[in-house]
Amino acid sequence: MKRRELITALPLGMALASTGYAQSAYPNKPIRYIVPVAAGGGSDMIGRAVCERLGKVLGQPMVVDNHGGGGGVIASQMTAKSPADGYTLMQGYVGTHGTAPATRKLPYDAVKDFTPIGMIGSTPNVLCINAALPVTDVKSFLDYVRQNPGRVSYGSAGAGSLTHMTAELFKLQTGAFMVHIPYRGIAPATTDLIAGQTQAMFPGLAAALPHIRGGRIRALAVTGSQRHPQLKDVPTMEEAGLKGFDAQQWYGIVGPAGMPAAMVKQLNEALAKVLAQPDFKEKLSGEAVELIPMSPEAFGTYMKADIARWSALAKARGIMLDA
């Protein structure tokens, strides 16, 4: 190499060395993918489906590592404290990077301690009621609530969960009063809704769909900007008269703060290839998930906006939970 070419090449080589990253060398070993829930269930299925295909695109295995507990706090701490070398990633979701930062004092900063990689997709929540209630739409449900003060309760998957916050958003926008009954997970909450122990709930569509189709609960409206393909006859909350009402159970990929930009770009492009696969779209449609490719920058902005939105609601409703 000529002396001038060598001098020109030195800054680039030094820059790569300073980041500890060279795109051609990454990845050269398996990547750990932390899923912040126990094995089994929709979120875990999404993580495993992503890993199977993302590993093939990257040329290295993606190893799913389930760490439930603490509403995602344990997994988030583990991820935030890992080296920013691209070999530890996490499936962030609305709980870890949306509602929890809005309602709890956490041992991690949901924005500063993470690198956004990209969105996977989201599924709407759906206002469901016990099938025995004499109502067929949102208006008649609100009439029923007002005619039965203090006698209507709603279940949730737990205090501070998206199911809880969505119902509180509904109460704020309508002025309706309903008693909150928190459960330890969506399954027992659904069981009591079917049995009539509670009268309403805002579960994610994937969890609610089998019971809606079986006639065990009734869907009145879905969140989101448009009707869902699997519930074409059910209006959106906006169509039901609640302007700007939205809540989404979203999933995405994050890593520890400080990951090199070139590595983040490589991972985001690999994820985009996975999301473009028709069979992947079909597989996730079973979980009612709409795929939403985003750049790392757009995903980071989305997470900040979601935290801000739920924080405003938590403040308005006086919701602050222990960490």
Q: Please give the domain boundaries of the chain with CATH numbers for all domains.
A: 29-122+249-317 (3.40.190.150), 126-231 (3.40.190.10)
The pair of three-digit structure tokens given for residue 268, joined into one six-digit string: 């985001």
Q: Check residue 234 and give its pLDDT.
A: 97
Q: Check residue 40 and give its pLDDT.
A: 84
Other beta carbons less than 10 A from residue 304's beta carbon: 14
The pair of three-digit structure tokens given for residue 295, joined into one six-digit string: 């750049």
Which residues are bridge partners to 121 per DSSP?
A: 251, 291
**Contact partners, residue 106, CB within 8 Å, separation at least 6:** 73, 76, 100, 323
The conformation of residue 204, written as its DSSP 8-state character, comes to B
- Residues 123 and 287 sit within 8 Å (Cβ to Cβ): yes
Q: Check residue 22 and give its pLDDT.
A: 52
pTM for this predicted structure: 0.89
- The SS3 assignment for 198 reads coil
Q: Check residue 322 and give its pLDDT.
A: 72
Which residues are bridge partners to 127 per DSSP?
A: 221
The torsion of the CA quartet 137, 141, 147, 149, rounded to 10 degrees, works out to: 180
pLDDT tens, residue order, the chain (323 aa): 444 444 444 454 444 444 455 545 999 999 999 999 989 888 999 999 999 999 999 999 999 999 988 889 999 999 999 999 999 999 999 999 999 999 999 999 999 999 999 999 999 999 999 999 999 999 999 999 999 999 999 999 999 999 999 999 999 999 999 999 999 989 999 999 999 999 999 999 988 999 999 999 999 999 988 999 999 999 999 999 999 999 999 999 999 999 999 999 999 999 999 999 999 999 998 889 999 999 999 999 999 999 999 999 999 999 998 74
Q: Check residue 233 and give its pLDDT.
A: 96
What span, in angstroms and rounded, lies between the C-alpha atoms of 266 and 253? 13
Q: How far apart are the first and last CA of the chain?
A: 59
> E strand or H helix at 167, and its extent?
helix 162-174
What span, in angstroms and rounded, lies between the C-alpha atoms of 230 and 292? 17
Residue type, 73: V
Alpha helices in 26-161 (DSSP H): 42-58, 73-80, 100-103, 138-147
